[in-house]
Amino acid sequence: MLEAASPGTVLAGWSLGALLVEDLLRGGHVPAGLDVVRICPFLDFCDPAGPWKPMVLRRMARRIQGDAPGVLEDFADLAGIPSGPLRHAWMDQATTIGEEGLAEGLDVLGSLRFPAPWTDAPGGFLVSPDDAVAPPARSPEAHTLVLPEGSGHVPFLIHPESFSLALRELVEG
CATH architecture of 10-48+113-172: 3-Layer(aba) Sandwich (3.40)
* Residue 165 Cα to chain centre, angstroms: 18
Please list the residues that pair with 138 across neighbouring strands: none
Domains of the chain by residue range: 10-48+113-172, 54-110
Q: Which amino acid is at 51?
A: P
* pLDDT tens by residue, the chain, 173 residues: 888 888 889 999 999 999 999 999 999 999 988 999 999 999 999 998 888 999 999 999 999 999 999 999 999 999 999 999 999 999 999 999 999 999 999 999 999 999 999 999 999 999 999 999 998 789 999 999 999 999 999 999 999 999 999 999 999 87
Whether pTM exceeds 0.85: yes
Distance CA 93, CA 146 (A): 26
- Identify the sign of the CA torsion 66, 14, 129, 155: negative
